[in-house]
A and B are shown apart, each in its own frame.
Chain A
Amino acid sequence: MPNEWQTVLDEIKNNVSEMAYEAYFARFKFVSNEGGILTSSVPNVFIKTQIDGKYHNTVLDALKVAKYDFRDFKVIIDGNDKPTVKPPKEILPNERIAPTFTPPRAISTPKRLQIDSNGLNPKFRLSNYVVGSNNDLAVSAAHAVIENPGMRYNPYFLYGGPGLGKTHLIQAIGNEILERNPNMNVLYVTIEQFYHEFVEAMRKKLDGFAEKYRKVDVLIIDDFQFIAGKEKSQDEFFHTFNELQQHDKQIIVGSDRLPAQIATIDERLASRLMMGVPIDIQMPDFETRCAILKSKAELISAEIDDKTVEFIAENVRSNIRDLEGKLNQILALSELRGVPTYELIDDSYITQSSTPTRRKTISVKQLIDKVAKYYNLSPKELLGTSRVKNIKTARQISMYLMKEELGLSTVEIGRELSKDHTTIMHGIKVVKNNLKTDFNLREQITDLRQKIYTS
């Protein structure tokens, strides 16, 4: 009668603390109910004493709730019940919504993630991932991984600033692989989950931690930068990594930074992560931002006009999460006030919101100061005529940023920097060209943009 016994266990669970339940009732089992004597078993005499003593009435009440018919209740000791390894607890609530579920206007209702036991959110697909110049390399590598997991780009190391779509992309890879090979064991975890499970396993001396991770075919690790300072986890991850790679299992890592830039990371781990090609994701350009906004709006079946899309794309340049936030904000406000979205564009509430927006506070002088500070120069040096390479580069970068971020013309920039406008044109061209090939430069510019907009 396993079902009735489950009722008993559930009932007990409701009446004692969780830890007391774990300690005393985790291995409380039904044995028989014959001749009016209901027999149950526990692993040892210490636990029997608790159940016969303090918890006697709790158990009797629970047995009554389960409608057991008995005269006498007995607890025996059964040590042959071997300790079994418990599956790791689900970290995220196992709430499921039908995939087709679309709220009429999902804007103001909090969205719940649908999480499968493999940790993947099935909503993240390649089909709803907007490809632009900022991420085309990452996406084509992703396709290669999906076609032949474990063969090329292993590890697939994806890095880029927060909110640029790393999680979406690496989860999409997992989902696509699963769709093609339903028998593959795909696991998505954040480094935080990995760490907590690891600590839990160590603390409770549970086996099965290493097995869980070492038997997967595709391991997807997100937020890898948080491994900084967790030495034991690094060790464990290192061994897991080696084991998987030796067996040609695919490893996919998402991180804010390159391994080498993560403080206190073990060198051997960092070098292994660089074995595949590290691929970065940049902030999408204006057109891509527009496409993303449209795709997001479509996903929640909201109507939005081009003018609004352009307005948001123009104003939000920090990351995609902010982009989505702004979109949701406008949609919510439009619903609330019952006016079409484009009428809200000039609304003071929208423009003054907390999202960092463009051209709000920054002046030419502030920009120059920031660039100078970033490169450890004085503004005077930066504006001077020195031909020293790093000063020259910094100067060209400020030209580029003035054009891109402040929207000034080359003539205006020339006036500000006391230079000829052809010099400015050349400088911007140099930066633009280098951006295509120079990863370092791309990062510096991303950093600078962040600094400009977050002050």
Chain B
Amino acid sequence: MEIEVLQDRLAKALNAVSRVAASTKAGLPILSNVLLRAEDNQLTLTATNMEIATVQYVNAKAKKNGTITVPAKLLAEFVSNLPKENVLLSAKDEKLVISAGKYKSTINGILADDFPELPKINEEEAATFKINVDIFKEAVNEVIIAASNDTTRPALTGVFFNTFNNSLFIAATDGYRLADRKFVEKVQSEIKVIVPTNALQEVIRSISDNVEEIEVLITDSQIRFRMGEIEITSKLIDASFPDYRQLIPKDCTNIIELDKAELIRMTKVAALFARDSGGSVVCEAKKDEGIFSISAVASELGENTSAMGANISEDGKVVLNSRYLLDALNATVEGKIIFGLSGKLAPVIIKNAKNNDYMHIIMPLKS
């Protein structure tokens, strides 16, 4: 093959591709390579770790079609250091020669025949929808923190894409907290799949500035994200997700509106004194005084209480893990939030004050 491509485009594509190639766990050497394919006026770069695959298309001038695979990381690092001009990639047998101006190097590769085939998607059978990039990022970040990393329960290590009342929701839980977010409205197909968190993180990392919309294709065994010149395909986690809607409290006895920034500050301060007790902080609402307080006691260090004024309908108290509370607060959008308190042993709900799209539930600690 022989193909000419602009350095900055190539460097950007290689950068994203080499992340996937580098994360390979299987010992197969070719998996740490990137597959380069020159075809007409396009250079296609492919990498996979047998769980995720990323394909990048770059506009280029192909003088001779062909394929080769070379170590992704080495190529990415070399190209990123080249000057901004045309880079010529030419492959012969198992060697790739890269030249740009005065720079020239030859990288030993492996023939493309050994590169694993990527799974194909039958686009007609797949469920598809499109989503705005900013909403995608916001929603995924809100949910992904609640996912577990305990591999003995594979279902909880992913994000659950599921349709309910014609809308698509995404949810994640690790058994102690749960995050649920409305993702797309009016979806035609019925979807119930679990997407690995690392695939979603990879999608977020790969989104470039000029992309506005992501196209998502889902089949029963894989999910594909298309955004601009990039396509990321991931396996799905083959397990059943718990019926999480049962876990969401129907209503709360005490709905308190609080300022997010202030609440974060209070939680952080209390967390300092909660280190000995595994992060447990006491959240208390007092109707008569009209205050919401967070406190923590460290038997050796001392203790802390911070409070803020709030409109409270009933007295209430709950013990939470400060880390979970902070994660939940950090994930919500700026401004006012709703703190839904029902009692000592009932889960706490955290929501945006403005809309009901996002909901974060934290199980209380037994005090």
- On A, residues with C-beta under 8 Å from B are 19-20, 22-23, 43-50, 53-54, 77-80, 82-83, 204-205
Chosen A-B contacts, 8 in total, with CB atoms closer than 8 Å, are A19-B28, A19-B29, A23-B50, A46-B48, A48-B119, A80-B238, A204-B25, A205-B25
Question: A22-B26, A22-B28, A79-B237 known; A46 and B51 CB under 8 Å?
Answer: yes
Q: Is B117 a contact partner of A49 (Cβ separation < 8 A)?
A: yes
For residue B106, CB closer than 8 A to chain A, the reply is no
B53 partner, pick from A46, A48, A78, beta carbons under 8 A: A46
Contact between B48 and A23 (Cβ–Cβ < 8 Å)? no
- Give Cα A80 to B235, complex, Å: 13
By size class, the interface of chain B is 20 to 34
Indicate if B221 sits at the interface (CB-CB under 8 A): yes
**B103 → chain A, closest Cβ, in Å?**
32
Return the 9 tightest CB-CB contacts between A and B, nearest first: A79-B238, A44-B235, A23-B26, A45-B221, A23-B28, A49-B119, A46-B50, A53-B117, A45-B119
A50 touches B117 (CB 8 A): yes
Bound-state CA distance A278–B119 (Å) is: 61
Chain B 2-42 interface residues, beta-carbon cutoff 8 Å to A: 25-29, 31
CA distance A78 to B120 in the complex (A): 18
Asked whether, in the complex, the Cβ of A78 is within 8 Å of the Cβ of B28, the reply is: no
Q: In whole angstroms, how far apart are the Cα atoms of A46 and B26 in the complex? A: 13
* Beyond A23-B28, A82-B154, 13 additional pairs, beta carbon < 8 A: A23-B26, A23-B27, A23-B50, A45-B119, A46-B53, A46-B118, A47-B50, A49-B116, A49-B118, A49-B119, A50-B116, A79-B154, A79-B236
The verdict on B222 contacting chain A, using a C-beta distance below 8 Å, is: yes
**Inside 8 A of A23's CB, which chain B residues have their CB?**
26-28, 31, 50
- Complex contacts, A82 vs chain B, CB 8 Å: 151-152, 154
Return the chain A residue nearest B27 by Cβ: A19
Is B248 located at the chain interface by the 8 A CB criterion?
Answer: no
Q: What is the bound-complex CA distance between A304 and B22, given in angstroms?
A: 62
Binary contact readout B234-248 vs A (1 if CB under 8 angstroms, 0 otherwise): 011111000000000
Q: How far is the CA of A365 from the CA of B101 in the complex (A)?
A: 68
Docked complex Cα distance between A205 and B27 (Å): 11
- Which residue on chain B has the smallest CB distance to residue A22? B27
B153's nearest neighbour on chain A, judged by CB, is A82
Q: Which residues of B are found within 8 Å of A205, using beta-carbon distances?
A: 25
Q: Which residue of A lies closest to B50 (CB)?
A: A46
Contacts of B27 in A (CB 8 A): 19, 22-23, 204
**Complexed CA–CA distance, A127 and B119 (Å):** 63
A20→B118 CA distance, assembly (Å): 15
